Each structure stands twice: as structure tokens, then as C-alpha cells.
């Protein structure tokens, strides 16, 4: 199976559970399970090849210019992790099927789980660090959804937020580190980076890169001091904890450290930093875990501790350490996943996870007890279980590691960690299952159904099998270790074995186990001391930190944004004018190079009218109706100026837009006050006038300079003029630019227009369904309303004119390619023809005759335009390449057909739909406001029996 | 002619800015419309003014108007209608639900110096 498919399967599959849940929980489960199983089988088909030393790859160029390509490869390390993610994923999916209650939305859960799974598989198979980072962030996001799955629990929400904050910040650091790494090597290909150990370690940027990458790994893998998010993530449903904290999420950090081991490890900083952080985390985690009463909290801190252990092993920088780390990753995944599931079973059966309320369950839940004991002893590091073998290797490695010039330090700390680890493991078993049976369990304890115990039971096969015969895993572990080491060092001589003879490590192990038993025996007094001791609560520190940050940000933005739009606008204008003035007075003024066009009487007349209209508008702006009339005048003058200055297309467009804009504003004014109250003080008005005049003078000066100078570089208009007919088949260059040269822009523009109309529709819906509805219904109009809402003359006229106007629209559309006109103008004209019917004959009358919803017309327009564009693919040309030809059907003259016309049809439809949908939405508001519904276009019709009077 | 054009654009801009600085929604919308006129004409004029130049290709004619600014402005005119419509429905919605058409947040509503609601509510639980 292609590697692409292995990564894509969980993502694609994530779409299914949400749909399948409608067919029932069982179908939903089977679908999810099948998706993961397919991916797992696909992965396993590569196993023989990888075993022989092949590295399957899959490459797809995405943004080659940035070095960001969808490159995947499957080496043994990736195979082991992908196998863990998908294999344990299968068990978790099965376990969750029986764990989730009927109140939980199983489809949602499985969708999140598959998203997370896909992101994890993506990380371990990436061969491009940028793609890896994308998947890395995806795991943070999807784990946020999983941890906060129980949205009704505040702990769940807080835990999810904390996990996202910590791992997200780490992710940011990681991005920085990876980019630096890519800069050093000059490539973002992981395989290339891995071959440049000397180059990277000699670079002065090695240290920052290392620190940033380690920050990312430490946060993800919950290393001290970033460990605190992990226990809080325990408020997630137990299957999530079992998945995230045994095999996947927290192992991602370790995976990356192992992946980059060949280029990053071995330096003094690496050894000191990674080893000490690992050791510290191991001991602290194990120490705290012992005192946790909640089973999942105990396991959470134990996970922190084991992650520290693996971190330490990777930090030593020896190949033996790497081998031990690989083996312990496998072992920890198996026993920890099982233990989490056991905690879930206990919770399910007894309705509590508090060990103070548990104990004596061994006879009531014998099967669970068996699984818990096997997995727990493995966690404690008892011989014959797999945890023992890798822990022995860790102690062996500790004996040979020197930190801070003290050979004994590491040995002692590692033994201490192992001791606490044994202690909490024993406590997990004994305080839950051993001891006397109690009578006050919150529920009647019993072994669960097979769906719950089978998944952890299956995990006992490697726990016991590899514990008794570790040599079985040796070829595979060596293979993976080879991939981690990446040929920069010799493979270790040592073998995986149960018995190495009477070694110092065995003695340390014995000390740990015996010490752990003694430590457990002292639990009572120790716990009292622990609880009496003041200790820093990481969550409180985190919370107050976040709160301080949020408050600071709120105060800052509040000062900046005080909610006064007027102030922002004033500051904006003043700043822009100030910057412009600075440039103007400090730069070199360009001398005029063009001769001024002679001033004509028409020009002066238009100019004078415009100035007068604008002046009156400002003077009488409190009278809103007058403002609208003046706006109409200004729009008309602007259209005429366009026409005067040789732009007929613009003139046509402007004048038709003017009509619909004024209608729209009139509709709005129907609801708004008719007058603007006088509020501003004289000082304020003066200030605004000064700002406005400043802006006006600046724009006038700018325009003057531009108009009097020549183009600073050759205009590309020449190209368009020369090629409009040859390449686009049209004489109207403006239209050819719109539908051909810049067709893609136009495509975007009609989409924007459609979105605007839909936004208006949605807002109207929201208004009509909210509290505004009642206000509209009870609303009084300020002024007397017209007695004759639908005058006879107007009804007759508009109806007679309708076909004529439509014909004009068709004419304007058809001639658009060669003469002024086109889809935009034609669309506006047709819209006006329809609006006239609404105005003259009433909304209800016109609406009942309108067969196609305007949304559909917008959609059809965008679709037609898009399909025209796609059509050129079939001719092997890029999107929106136009074609045209000349045809002749006798007895007609020769005529032209161009694909651009089909595109223009799309523009036409989108414009009609958008304009009509906007206006219709506004008038729907009006209908709600008490206008009587008219069934007939004319209110006065003597032939009708009942005559309705309006107004 | 260039002088008339520049001053006309300047006057439209000044009127637009003055109206944008008013306190009620309706004049502000009118102001943005005036600014749209100014910007559209400015963009159009950036192709340099031409009187009686041919806008459409014809045999034997050498001098044409600049088509690119025209194409730019043509779509801008249509889009500005969409923008005006969206702003108007927002203004209308706020007037109908709040009962007043001020553009500035009233001072009494603006006094929220503490953290956003999510953090106030939950982090202290």
C-alpha cells in the first residue's frame, strides 16, 4: 500500500464515524475499526521489505520553491512507531466501543481519534521537516479535542486547554528549531539533514536549534518542568488516556529525539541537558506517583517518570542507550496501555478510581486482577516481565554514565527512580486488589464484558512473552536501533537477555525491588508527611500566569481599542496624511511632464455641479432623504464624467449600480430615523473639518502629481491592446480583460459578491428570528404612509417596460465582447427590471411569480463561470483559458462564439442573484414591519368583490 | 482638465472623511460611499485622462484609452455595492436590536478592563 494512503486513511476515515453513528454504535465501531485495520495491514505489507533493509518512499511536490514537499519514508523506526500507533489504536477503538456510555457521542469520539491517529502516523513517516511540523501541530490540535471530549466537565476543558497551551508553545519552539536546522543544512529533507552531523554540530546555530527542538520535545513528552499538563489531561475519557499516554502523543517527543539522534546527540550540551532532565523527571514523576490516590493520576505520573527514563537513555548518546530506549518504548507502550485500560475497568465496575475507597477486589474481579498484576509487575521491573529487561539495561547504562564529573550520581539517582517506580507499581496492585474485601464500594464490582478486558489481555502477550524470551524481540530492536543510530556509530555488542549473570545492575534492581516493598510498607506515615508538606501546585502557577497574561493583554488592547470608531477613523486619516506629507516634503517632487488637457465648458459644468452637490450634502447631512438625493446626483455626475473621459463601460456600470444603491439605501432608511441629531460640539466639528480638508488636499495633490506625470515604467496596457483581438477575440478591451486576461480575478470577485449577498441574507434571517422580530411587528412609522402603495400608472408602466428592459439587458450582454457592455452591466440592468416589478406591484405579488431562488442564481453563476474555466483543462490548457471561433449558419452573417461569453454568463447570473438577494432581504424586513400582504398588483379593481384598502 | 479632476477627487474625499467622522451609522455609510466614489475615480484617473479616445478597437485608430484601470474600476464599482449593502444591513441590525444608531461603543459598555469571560469563569474553579 502506498505510504500516502497509509497516512491518508485515518484522515479520510475520520469523516465516516460521524455519519455512521446514525446507523448505530456497532456500525460506527466496525467502520472505525476497519479504517485503522486497513491502514495497519497496509503498513504490514511493507514489513518484509523494511526487514530486508529497504526504505519505501513516496514523494509529491507541494511547494518545491519553499522546500516543502509531501515526502514520506518508512524506515524501521517509523515502522515501529506507526505499528504501535495503529496496532494499539485498534485495541483502543475496540475498548472504547464498550467503554463509552450511551450519552457519549461515539461518532464524534471516533472522528477525533482517527484525526489524531492520522496526525501521529504523519509525524513518524514524514521525510520533510516542514510536513512533520504540520503533523506535529495537528496532533496538538486533535489531542485537544480528545482530552476535552467531555465538554461538560470543567476539568476536561481546563486540562485540554492546558495541554494545548503547553504543547502548542513547544510546537512554536520546535518550528524555530527545525527551520534553523534546515537553514544550516540547506534542505528540509529529513534524510539529507540526517547525513550532515558534522556540519550541524560545527555550526554556531547548533545550540539555539538544539534548545528549541528540545523545548518542543520536552513539552510534548511531558519532561520536567513541562510535565504538569499530562496529569491534568487525565480528565479525558480513559481510552484517550490509554492511547495518548502509552503509545502516541507523549512518545512523539521521544520519537523526534530518536529521529534526530544522529545529528543532535553526542555533544556535551546534549548529554548534560537531556540526561539530567530525563533523570530528574524520572525520579520526580515516580516520587509523586506513589502518593496519588487516583489510579489514573498515579499512572499519569508514572508515565511522566517512564518518559524521563527513555529521555535519559536517549540522552546518554551511546548506542547501547539508544537500544535500551527503543526496547523500553515498546515495553512501556504495552504495559502502560494495559494498565490505563485496567484503571478504566475498575472505574467502570466500582464507579471510583480512588484507592482509598478500593482494595480487596481480587476475588470480585479476578480477571482484571490478573491483567493488572502482570502489567503492574512489568512496570515495577520484576523478572520474567518485559519491563524488567529494559529497566536492567537502563541501570546498566546508568552505571556507565558520568554527569557533573560524578560517576556515582547517575547510578544512585537511577536506582532511586527504579525504587520509587517499584513502590508505586506495588501500591497500584495491592491497594486496589489486595487486602480485605470491603462493603462500601460505590457499586457492585464485577469483571467486565470481553470487549473491555480482551484488549488489555492481548497486550499481556508481549508483556509476558518478551519478559521470558527477550531474544525474540532482539532482531527487530536491533533493526530499529540501527535506524536511530543512522550509521554514525557502531551497533552495540550486547544482547537482549533475561539473565546476564550476577552484574551490578542486577544488584541495583534487587535494591530497587526490596526498597520499593519497604517504601510501600511505610505508606501510611509517608503519606501523612507528604500531605502535610507544602508543595508548589503546578496548575495554580500555570493558571495565575495565564490569568496575568490575559489581563495584561486585555488592559493593553482596551486602552488601544476603546470602542470609538470615530477615534480610529480620525487617527487613521491623520496618520496616513502625516506619512504622506512627510514623504511629500522630504522626497524629490516630480516635475510635470505632460501637457494639461484644455479645460472644456462641459468639464467645468460637471465640476461645478459635483462641488455644489458635495457641499450641500455636507451642509444638509442631517436631512437623510436630502442626502440620498444628493448622493444620486453625485453618482450621476460621476457616471457622466466616466463617459466624458472615454470610459463608456464604466459609465454604464456606475449608473446602474447607482440605481440599485439608492433603492437599497431607501429601503434601509425606512427603518432608520429620518434625521441625524445634532450632537457634535462646534469644536469637534471644526476638528473634523480640519482633518477632512487635510485629507482632501492630500488626495488632490497626489492626483495632480500623478495626472501631470508620465508612467514611470511601460504600461502593460499596450500588451492588452495588442492581444485583445488576437488572443481574446474581442474588440472591447475592458471586457476582454475582465473575462479573459484577468478572468481569475473576476471569478474571485463574483464569488465575493455572492458571499456578500449571502451574508446579508443570513443577517436578515438572524434578525427576523431574534428579538428584533417583535420590535418590527410593533413598530410605528414616523410619518404618514402613502395612501396608494401601488399606483396604477406605475404598475402598468413597469409591466410594459419589463420585456423591453430585459431585451436591453440581453443586447448589452451579447454585444459586451466587442462593444461597451458585458455581464456586469447586463446583470445590473436585468436586476433593475425585476426590482421595478417589486416596487410597483408589491413584494408578495412579485415574489409569488419568482420561480428561482436568488441563492440558486448566484450559485448557478459561480458554477457556470467555474465550469467554463475547468472546461479549458480538457483542452489541456490552464484554468480559464478562453477559446473562440467564427461560425456561419446560412442565411445569417458570420458570427463569433467564444467561451468567454459563457464565463460572462456566469458573471451575469451572479450579479443578478447577488443584487436581487440583497434587495429582497431588505424588503423582507419591511414586510415583517406590518406592511399588509398584497395578493393583487393593483389595489383598486372594481371587478374584484372585496377591495382591500391599505395605509 | 487635470486640475478640475484633482480638485473634484479632493472634494469628494474631504466630504467623505467628514461624513465618516460623524457619530451615527447613516452618515458614516454615506461617507464610505463618497470615499468609494473618490477612490474609483482616482483609480480610473491613474490611467491618465483622455478626451474622445477610442475605448474599443477599431481599424485605423492608433490612440486608445488605458483599459486596465477601467477594468479594475468596473469590478470595484460592483463590489462597492456589495460592501455598502453589507454595512447597511449591519447598521440596520444594530439599530433595530439596540434602539440606537451610534457608531461608537457607549462609555458605559466599554468598561471591561478584566480578562475575557472564559478565563474569568473557569480558571478559578
Q: Is A47 a residue whose pLDDT tops 70?
A: yes
ipTM for the whole complex? 0.90
Which residue, A494, A493, A467, is CA-closest to A391? A467
Q: Is A678 a residue whose pLDDT tops 90?
A: no
Q: Do A745 and B22 touch (CB under 8 A)?
A: no
Give chain A's length. 951
Residue B117, by phi and psi: left (phi above 0), alpha (psi -120 to 50) or beta? Answer: alpha
> A686-717 pLDDT, tens per residue?
999 999 999 999 999 999 999 998 888 888 88
Cα distance between residue A90 and residue A917, in whole Å: 50
Interface check B7 vs A, CB under 8 A: yes
pLDDT of amino acid B41? 95
> A741-763 pLDDT, tens per residue?
888 999 999 999 999 999 999 99
Q: Do B123 and A546 touch (CB under 8 A)?
A: yes
Q: Do B34 and A725 touch (CB under 8 A)?
A: no
Residue B83 domain flag = yes
Q: Which residues pair with A885 in a beta bridge?
A: A897
Residue B47 domain flag = yes
Angle CA A832–A834–A836, to nearest 5: 70
Helix (H, G, I), strand (E, B) or coil at A885: strand
> A289-341 pLDDT, tens per residue?
888 888 888 999 999 999 999 999 998 888 888 889 999 999 999 999 999 99
Q: Do B68 and A715 touch (CB under 8 A)?
A: yes
> A76-114 pLDDT, tens per residue?
999 999 999 999 999 999 999 888 888 888 888 999 999
The Cα of B36 is separated from the nearest Cα of chain A by a number of Å equal to 11
pLDDT of amino acid A948? 47
Residue B112 domain flag = no
> A583-637 pLDDT, tens per residue?
988 988 778 888 888 899 999 999 999 999 999 999 999 999 999 999 999 999 9
CATH of the domain at B7: 1.10.287
Residue B38 domain flag = yes
Residue B122 domain flag = no
Q: Is A818 a residue whose pLDDT tops 60?
A: yes
Own/partner contacts of A897-900, CB < 8 Å, gap of 24 or more, are: A898/A728, A898/A729, A898/A730, A898/A817, A899/A868, A899/A871, A899/A872, A900/A728, A900/A729, A900/A730, A900/A736, A900/A739, A900/A740, A900/A743, A900/A817
B residues 26-85 closer than 8 Å to A (CB): 26-30, 33-34, 37-38, 40-42, 44-58, 64-68, 70-71, 73-75, 77-85
The Cα of B61 is separated from the nearest Cα of chain A by a number of Å equal to 12
Q: Is A866 a residue whose pLDDT tops 50?
A: yes
Please give the mean pLDDT across all residues of chain A.
87
Residue B96 domain flag = yes
* Distances A552 to A527, A546, A561, A562, A568 between C-alpha atoms, Å: 40, 10, 14, 15, 22
Which residue, A251, A218, A219, is CA-closest to A89? A251
pLDDT of amino acid A939? 58
What is the number of domains present in chain B? 1
Interface check A897 vs B, CB under 8 A: no
Q: Is B122 a residue whose pLDDT tops 50?
A: no
- pLDDT-derived band at A579 (thresholds 50, 70, 90) equals very high
Average pLDDT of the segment spanning A181-199: 88
Enclosing domain of residue B30: 2-52+59-106
Q: Do A550 and B85 touch (CB under 8 A)?
A: no
**Nearest residue, CB atoms, B1 vs list A554, A596, A649:** A596
Of all residues in chain B, the one with the smallest CA distance to A603 is B1
Q: Is A951 a residue whose pLDDT tops 70?
A: no
Cα distance between residue A344 and residue A353, in whole Å: 8
Cα distance between residue A216 and residue A169, in whole Å: 8
Residue B99 domain flag = yes
pLDDT of amino acid A153? 86
> B77-102 pLDDT, tens per residue?
989 999 999 999 999 888 888 888 88
Residue B8 domain flag = yes
Average pLDDT of the segment spanning A153-168: 88
Amino acid at each position: 500500500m502506498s505510504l500516502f494512503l497509509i497516512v491518508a486513511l485515518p484522515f479520510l476515515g475520520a469523516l465516516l464515524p460521524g455519519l455512521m453513528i446514525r446507523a448505530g454504535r456497532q456500525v460506527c465501531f466496525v467502520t472505525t475499526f476497519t479504517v485503522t485495520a486497513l491502514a495497519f495491514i497496509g503498513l504490514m505489507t511493507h514489513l518484509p521489505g523494511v526487514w530486508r533493509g529497504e526504505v519505501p518512499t513516496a514523494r509529491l511536490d507541494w511547494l518545491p520553491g519553499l522546500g516543502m514537499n509531501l515526502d514520506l519514508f518508512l524506515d524501521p523506526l517509523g515502522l515501529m512507531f506507526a505499528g504501535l500507533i495503529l496496532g494499539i489504536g485498534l485495541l483502543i477503538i475496540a475498548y472504547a466501543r464498550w467503554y463509552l456510555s450511551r450519552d457519549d457521542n461515539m461518532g464524534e469520539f471516533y472522528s477525533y481519534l482517527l484525526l489524531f491517529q492520522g496526525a501521529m502516523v504523519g509525524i513518524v513517516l514524514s521525510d520533510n521537516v516542514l510536513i512533520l511540523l504540520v503533523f506535529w501541530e495537528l496532533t496538538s490540535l486533535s489531542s485537544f479535542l480528545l482530552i476535552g471530549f467531555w465538554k461538560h466537565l470543567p476539568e476536561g476543558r481546563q486540562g485540554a486547554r492546558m495541554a494545548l497551551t503547553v504543547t502548542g508553545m513547544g510546537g512554536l519552539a520546535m518550528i524555530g528549531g527545525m527551520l534553523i536546522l534546515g537553514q544550516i543544512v540547506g534542505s528540509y529533507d529529513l534524510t539529507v539533514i540526517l547525513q550532515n552531523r558534522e556540519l550541524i554540530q560545527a555550526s554556531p546555530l547548533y545550540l539555539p536549534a538544539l534548545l528549541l527542538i528540545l523545548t518542543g520535545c520536552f513539552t510534548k513528552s511531558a519532561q520536567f518542568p513541562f510535565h504538569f499538563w499530562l496529569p491534568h489531561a487525565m480528565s479525558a475519557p480513559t481510552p484517550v488516556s490509554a492511547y495518548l499516554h502509552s503509545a502516541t502523543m507523549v512518545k512523539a517527543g521521544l520519537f523526534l529525539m530518536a529521529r534526530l539522534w544522529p545529528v543532535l546527540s553526542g555533544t556535551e550540551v546534549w548529554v548534560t541537558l537531556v540526561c539530567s532532565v530525563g533523570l530528574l523527571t524520572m525520579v520526580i514523576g515516580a516520587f509523586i506517583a506513589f502518593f496519588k490516590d487516583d489510579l489514573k493520576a498515579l499512572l499519569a505520573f508514572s508515565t511522566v517518570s517512564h518518559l524521563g527514563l527513555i529521555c535519559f537513555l536517549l540522552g546518554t548518546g551511546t548506542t547501547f542507550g539508544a537500544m535500551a530506549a527503543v526496547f523500553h518504548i515498546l515495553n512501556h507502550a504495552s504495559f502502560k496501555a494495559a494498565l490505563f485500560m485496567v484503571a478504566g475497568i475498575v472505574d467502570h465496575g466500582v464507579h471510583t478510581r480512588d484507592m482509598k475507597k478500593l482494595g480487596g477486589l481480587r476475588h470480585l474481579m479476578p480477571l482484571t486482577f490478573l491483567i493488572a498484576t502482570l502489567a503492574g509487575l512489568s512496570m515495577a521491573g520484576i523478572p520474567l516481565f518485559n519491563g524488567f529487561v529494559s529497566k536492567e539495561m537502563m541501570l546498566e547504562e546508568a552505571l556507565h554514565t558520568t554527569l557533573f564529573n560524578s560517576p556515582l550520581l547517575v547510578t544512585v539517582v537511577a536506582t532511586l527512580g527504579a525504587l520509587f517506580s517499584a513502590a508505586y507499581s506495588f501500591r497500584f496492585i495491592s491497594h486496589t486488589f489486595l487486602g480485605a474485601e470491603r462493603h462500601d464500594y460505590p457499586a457492585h464490582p464485577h469483571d467486565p464484558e470481553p470487549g473491555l478486558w480482551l484488549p488489555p489481555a492481548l497486550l499481556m502477550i508481549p508483556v509476558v512473552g518478551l519478559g521470558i524470551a527477550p531474544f525474540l524481540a532482539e532482531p527487530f530492536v536491533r533493526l530499529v536501533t540501527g535506524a536511530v543510530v543512522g550509521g554514525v556509530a557502531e551497533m552495540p555488542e550486547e544482547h537482549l537477555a533475561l539473565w546476564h549473570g550476577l552484574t551490578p545492575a542486577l544488584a541495583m534492581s534487587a535494591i530497587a525491588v526490596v526498597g520499593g516493598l519497604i517504601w510501600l510498607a511505610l505508606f501510611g506515615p509517608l503519606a501523612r508527611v507528604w500531605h502535610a508538606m507544602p508543595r508548589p501546585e503546578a496548575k495554580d502557577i500555570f493558571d495565575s500566569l495565564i490569568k496575568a497574561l490575559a489581563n495584561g493583554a486585555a488592559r493593553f488592547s482596551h486602552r488601544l481599542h476603546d470602542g470609538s470608531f470615530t477615534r480610529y477613523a480620525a487617527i487613521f486619516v491623520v496618520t496616513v496624511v502625516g506619512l504622506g506629507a512627510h514623504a511629500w516634503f522630504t522626497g524629490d517632487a516630480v516635475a510635470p511632464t505632460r501637457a494639461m488637457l484644455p479645460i472644456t465648458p462641459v468639464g467645468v459644468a460637471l465640476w461645478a455641479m459635483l462641488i455644489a452637490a458635495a457641499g450641500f450634502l455636507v451642509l444638509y447631512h442631517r436631512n437623510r432623504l436630502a442626502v440620498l438625493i444628493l448622493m444620486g446626483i453625485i453618482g450621476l455626475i460621476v457616471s457622466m464624467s466616466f463617459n466624458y473621459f472615454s470610459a463608456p463601460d464604466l459609465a454604464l456600470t456606475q449608473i446602474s449600480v447607482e440605481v440599485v444603491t439608492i433603492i437599497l439605501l431607501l429601503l434601509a432608511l425606512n427603518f432608520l430615523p429620518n434625521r441625524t441629531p445634532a450632537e457634535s460640539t462646534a469644536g469637534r466639528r471644526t476638528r473634523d473639518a480640519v482633518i477632512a480638508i487635510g485629507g482632501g488636499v492630500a488626495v488632490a495633490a497626489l492626483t495632480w502629481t500623478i495626472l501631470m506625470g508620465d508612467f514611470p515604467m511601460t504600461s502593460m496596457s499596450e500588451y492588452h491592446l495588442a492581444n485583445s483581438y488576437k488572443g481574446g477575440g474581442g474588440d472591447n478591451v475592458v471586457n476582454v480583460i475582465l473575462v479573459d486576461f484577468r478572468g481569475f480575478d473576476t471569478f474571485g470577485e463574483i464569488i465575493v459578491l455572492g458571499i456578500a449577498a449571502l451574508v446579508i441574507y443570513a443577517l436578515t434571517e438572524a434578525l427576523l428570528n431574534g428579538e428584533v422580530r417583535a420590535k418590527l411587528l410593533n413598530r410605528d412609522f414616523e410619518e404618514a404612509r402613502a395612501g396608494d402603495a401601488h399606483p396604477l400608472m406605475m404598475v402598468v408602466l413597469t409591466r410594459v417596460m419589463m420585456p423591453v428592459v430585459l431585451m436591453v439587458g440581453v443586447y448589452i450582454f451579447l454585444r459586451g465582447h466587442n462593444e461597451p457592455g458585458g455581464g456586469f452591466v447586463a446583470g445590473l440592468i436585468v436586476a433593475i427590471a425585476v426590482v421595478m416589478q417589486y416596487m410597483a406591484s408589491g413584494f408578495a405579488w412579485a415574489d409569488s411569480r419568482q420561480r428561482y431562488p436568488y441563492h440558486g442564481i448566484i450559485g448557478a453563476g459561480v458554477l457556470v463561470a467555474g465550469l467554463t474555466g475547468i472546461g479549458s483543462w480538457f483542452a489541456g490548457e490552464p484554468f480559464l483559458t478562453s477559446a473562440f471561433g467564427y461560425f456561419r449558419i446560412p442565411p445569417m452573417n458570420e458570427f463569433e462564439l467564444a467561451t468567454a461569453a459563457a464565463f460572462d454568463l456566469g458573471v451575469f447570473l451572479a450579479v443578478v442573484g447577488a443584487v436581487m438577494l440583497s434587495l429582497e432581504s431588505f424588503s423582507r424586513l419591511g414586510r415583517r414591519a406590518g406592511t399588509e400582504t398584497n395578493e393583487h398588483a393593483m389595489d383598486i379593481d372594481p371587478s374584484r368583490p372585496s377591495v382591500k384598502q391599505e395605509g | 482638465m487635470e486640475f478640475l479632476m484633482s480638485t473634484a477627487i479632493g472634494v469628494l474625499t474631504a466630504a467623505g472623511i467628514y461624513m465618516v467622522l460623524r457619530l451615527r451609522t447613516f452618515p458614516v455609510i454615506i461617507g464610505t460611499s463618497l470615499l468609494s466614489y473618490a477612490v474609483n475615480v482616482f483609480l480610473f484617473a491613474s490611467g491618465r485622462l483622455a478626451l474622445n479616445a477610442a475605448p474599443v478597437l477599431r481599424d485605423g485608430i492608433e490612440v486608445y484609452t488605458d483599459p486596465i484601470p477601467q477594468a479594475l474600476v468596473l469590478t470595484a464599482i460592483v463590489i462597492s455595492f456589495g460592501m455598502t449593502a453589507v454595512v447597511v444591513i449591519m447598521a440596520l441590525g444594530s439599530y433595530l436590536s439596540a434602539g440606537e444608531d451610534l457608531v461608537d461603543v457607549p462609555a458605559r459598555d466599554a468598561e471591561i478592563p478584566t480578562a475575557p469571560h472564559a478565563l474569568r469563569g473557569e480558571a478559578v474553579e
